[in-house]
Amino acid sequence: MQPNPLTLVSLFVGGALSVAIVLAAFIVALVISQRRRIAQERENARRVLAAQEDERARVARELHDDALQRIAMIRHELEEAAGAAGPEVAHRIGGVSAELQDLGVVLRTAAHQLHPSVVEKAGLARALGALGEEFARTAGLAVRVNVPTADPPIPAALALVAYRIAQEALRNVVKHAGVLEAELALTVGEHDLTLRIADAGRGFDTGTARPEDGLGLIAMRQRAVGAGGRLTLTPRTGGGTVVTAILPVRSGA
């Protein structure tokens, strides 16, 4: 008996349709699992960095509340002892006290770099201004800071992410760019904030990872991704480097 050609066609179409449905379901499942993996990786990066910030804040508090208070107390004691001592001993005690004062400044700066409480206290715009001044003072880098005059209402954790990115990018200008000028700009829109750090220095091949590269670029990128945003490194027209971070302001970072 000859098979009916219509039955053959419908069998073929039915088979092809089933294969297409299975294939489509497979692709959808693949896309969903890929998205879940990316979201999980982003969440992991965010958590690792948040834990790191908590730990840094704890160390900074300990430095500030314990070590610095003790230094102040020891100096006070020394000054009293100097008052009761002869001129030569008083002079030596004065020298020790001055050393301790310098040590206090070093520890205060370290505590501040570990956890910049200025971000929480003064907001991102002013903290970035202060960061620019800090780089001018400590590294001789003239930073042209361009930030909104009114502080934008963004979550403190996100402000800290932006601050840390700016800090590392400026550090890189000092270490690698070979120039003593940089630009630091912040713009805040309804959905995103954009942070841009630019220099006109020697630049580098931003597309190639090299074995000698440090963790700075990786950490900057992870911070941006952990906050639900992205970070790009681009050569600047005319030479130099531009670091741009675009972060969603309502990411809940």
AA identity, residue 59? V
The H helix count followed by the E strand count for the chain is 7, 5
> Quick one: what does residue 199 bind among ligand ADP, Mg ion, none, with the CB cut-off 5 to 8 Å set by partner type?
ligand ADP
> Quick one: what does residue 173 bind among Mg ion, ligand ADP, none, with the CB cut-off 5 to 8 Å set by partner type?
ligand ADP
Crossing angle for the helix pair 5-62 and 87-114, to the nearest 10 degrees: 170
Q: Scan for tokens 């670091």, then name that residue.
A: 243
CB closer to Mg ion, 97 vs 172: 172
> Quick one: what does residue 203 bind among Mg ion, ligand ADP, none, with the CB cut-off 5 to 8 Å set by partner type?
ligand ADP
User: Does 200 contact ligand ADP by CB under 6 A?
Assistant: no
User: Does 175 contact ligand ADP by CB under 6 A?
Assistant: yes
What is the DSSP annotation of 24-41? HHHHHHHHHHHHHHHHHH
CB 144 within 8 A of CB 184: yes
Please work out the total of residues on this chain that contact Mg ion, with binding judged by CB under 5 A. 2
User: Does 152 contact Mg ion by CB under 5 A?
Assistant: no
User: Does 216 contact Mg ion by CB under 5 A?
Assistant: yes
> How many residues are present in the chain?
253
Joined together, the tokens standing for residue 239 give 């030479």
Q: Shortest gap between Cβ of 168 and Mg ion (angstroms)?
A: 6
User: Does 139 contact Mg ion by CB under 5 A?
Assistant: no
User: Does 228 contact ligand ADP by CB under 6 A?
Assistant: no
CB closer to ligand ADP, 92 vs 202: 202
User: Does 214 contact ligand ADP by CB under 6 A?
Assistant: yes
Q: Shortest gap between Cβ of 138 and ligand ADP (angstroms)?
A: 16
What is the β-pairing status of strands 192-199 and 230-235? Answer: unpaired
CB closer to ligand ADP, 114 vs 154: 114
Find, among 66, 198, 85, 82, the residue nearest to 145 by Cα.
198
Joined together, the tokens standing for residue 16 give 């092809």
- CA-to-CA dists, residue 136 to 17, 132, 139, 179, 180, angstroms: 68, 6, 6, 13, 9
> Quick one: what does residue 91 bind among Mg ion, ligand ADP, none, with the CB cut-off 5 to 8 Å set by partner type?
none
Figure out which of the listed residues 152, 216, 235, 248 binds ligand ADP, where binding follows CB under 6 A: 216
Q: Shortest gap between Cβ of 199 and ligand ADP (angstroms)?
A: 5
d(CA 58, CA 23): 52
CB closer to ligand ADP, 160 vs 231: 231
What is the β-pairing status of strands 241-248 and 192-199? Answer: antiparallel
Contact residues: Mg ion, CB under 5 A: 172, 216
Contact residues: ligand ADP, CB under 6 A: 172-173, 175-177, 199, 201-204, 213-217, 241
